[in-house]
Amino acid sequence: MTDRNSTPSTLQEYVVDGVIVLRVERGLKGLGETTLKERLDVLVSDGHLEILIDMKDMPFVDSSELGRLIRSHLSVRQAGGRVRLCNLAPRVVALMRMTRLDTILELYDTETQALASIRQARGERVARPAAGTGEGLGVNAPQGAG
């Protein structure tokens, strides 16, 4: 089941199988940074510890936005949760690899792959993608992410 809600201006929020998905719409500077931080604080205080940040609408990120993603990861991690990122543009993936943040942050090609990883971590049965679908190519969760 999917619930859709809207948070202030820079994020779209919805829930899939108990996972909070935050789609970043206008970057992570200024209002975007404040909105993400405030929303994560509320989610964590409400006990939501599985969070997926969808970066589909961010074709690039700069150092301040990278910093916000790292701070988001750390704040949720300190509460016992996990932040995953999905739908990263090729330039963002390249930057993550160059800075070695792909060894700290969990990156996924698609929302579907990220949600499958969460289900697998919960011990739920995960359907494998059909051969030749292209699923699983490109960005993968780092070994020992955390």
Query: pTM, whole model, 2 decimals?
Result: 0.76
Q: Provide the residue ranges of all domains of the chain, joining segments of one domain with +.
A: 2-122
**What per-residue confidence (pLDDT) applies to 123?**
85
Mean pLDDT for the stretch of residues 87-108: 93
Residue 134: its pLDDT value, please?
42
What fold characterizes domain 2-122? Transcription Regulator spoIIAA (3.30.750)
Task: Encode pLDDT of 45-96 as tens digits.
Answer: 999 999 999 999 888 888 888 888 898 899 999 999 999 999 999 999 999 9
How far is it, in rounded angstroms, from Cα 136 to Cα 78?
29
Distance CA 110, CA 56 (A): 9
Q: What phi-psi label fits residue 30: left (phi over 0), alpha (psi between -120 and 50 degrees) or beta?
A: left
Give pLDDT, residue 114: 96
82-86 and 106-108 strand pairing: parallel
The one-letter amino acid code at 63 reads: S
Give the pLDDT of residue 126.
53
DSSP-assigned letters across all residues of 10-69: TEEEEEETTEEEEEESS-SSTHHHHHHHHHHHHHHHTT--EEEEE-TT-S---HHHHHHH
Neighbours of 14 (CB within 10 A): 15
Residue 142 reports pLDDT greater than 50:
no
Percentage with pLDDT > 70 across the chain: 72
Residue 27's pLDDT band (cuts 50, 70, 90): low
